[in-house]
Amino acid sequence: MEVFLQSLLSGVLVGGNYALVGIGLTLIFGVMRVINFAHGDLLMVGMYLTFYAFSLLGIDPFLSIALTMPVMFVFGAFLQRVFINRVLDALPQNQILLTIGLGLIMSNSVMLFFTSDYKILSTSYSSGSVRLAGLSVSEPLFVSFVITAAITAALYWFLIKTNTGQAIRATAQDREAAQLMGVNVRRMGVLAFGLGAALAGAAGALISPTYYIFPQVGGAFTLKAFVVVVLGGMGSVVGATLGGVIIGTVESLAASYVSSGLKELFVYVLFLLVLLLKPSGLLGKSRL
C-alpha cells in the first residue's frame, strides 16, 4: 500500500510538469490548428538556458524561470512570426514537417555549440527530500510541482479573466467568428505560440534539477506532450492539465509495478487506446 501511495504521489508531482508542457502544446493547437513537433525542443532550450543561468550566473533554477519564460516567449513569438505564420493555410502534413525541421535545427544547433554530453545541474537540494503525510517526496520535485501549480493557476486566470485571454479562447473556439468580432487572430497566434514556448521553457527549467540535460532530450517530451494533449482532448487546457497528471501517474505506477524500462510503453499503448476508443479525448470536442 505504501509503495502504491508513494508511486501515486510522485506520479502526480511529475504529472504536473507534463501538464505544463501539454498546456503549451494544446494552446498552440487550439489557436492555430498547428501541431508543434518542436515542442520538446523548446523545453530543451529552456533546460539549457536554466543550466547556463545556474553555472555561469549562479541563478537558482527555480528562480531562473523569471528569466527563462520571457526569453522563451520572445523566441516562440519569433518562430511564429517568421515560420509558422507562413504555413497556417498549408496542408497539416507540411505544418508538421516544418515544425519537425525547426526541432531538428534547435536540437542540432545546441549539440554543435554545447556538445552532446549529458549535463547535470546539481543544487544543494537536488537530492533532498521532504516528508508529506508520512510519505517521502523529492524536494526539487515538490518545489517544481508547487511552482507548476502556481503557473497553471495564473494561466487559467489570464485565459478566463483578461480580455486578451478571452480573445485567445475565442480564436480557439471559432477562428472566423472571432475575426468577425474584431479579434486580431494573427496576433493571437503569435501570443499563443509565445505562451506555449514560455510554458515549455518553464517546464524545462523546473525539471532541470532532476533530469539529465542533453540536446536530444526534447524528443521524448514532444511525444509525451502529445499523449497528454490527446488524452485530455486537443485544444482543451483543463484536459491537458488532467491528462498530464494521469500520464505521470500511469508512468510512475508502471515503473514501480512492472519495470522502469517499460513505463513509456504503457504510456504509448494508453495513447493508442485513447486515439482509437475516444479520439476526442476526455474533455475535447471531436475534431475527426
Number of helices followed by number of strands (H, E) in the chain: 11, 2
Residues counted in the chain: 288
Burial of 66 (0-12, 13-18, 19+ CB in 10 A): exposed
- Pick the piece of the chain touching another protein (CB under 8 A) from 45-53, 171-179, 193-201, 265-273: 265-273
Asked if 118 interacts with another protein (CB under 8 A), we say: no
For residue 189, give the C-alpha cell: 497566434
Site string for another protein, 15-54 (x = CB under 8 A): --------------------x-------------------
**Structural contact between residues 123 and 51, judged by C-beta atoms closer than 8 angstroms:** no
Q: What is the DSSP letter of 217?
A: G
- The single residue among 8, 60, 149, 264 that binds another protein, judged by CB under 8 A, is 264
- When the beta carbons of 182 and 261 are compared against another protein, the nearer one is 261
Q: Residue type at 117?
A: D
Type of residue numbered 229? V
Closer to another protein by Cβ: residue 83 or 158: 83
Which region, judged by CB under 8 A, interacts with another protein, from 3-11, 19-27, 70-78, 82-90? 82-90
62 binds another protein (CB under 8 A): no
Nearest by Cα to 88 from 6, 190, 180: 190
Under the rule (CB under 8 A), what is the footprint of another protein?
Answer: 35, 83, 86-87, 90-94, 96-98, 100-105, 107-109, 111-112, 219, 223, 226-227, 230, 259, 261-262, 264-265, 268-269, 271-272, 275-276, 279, 288
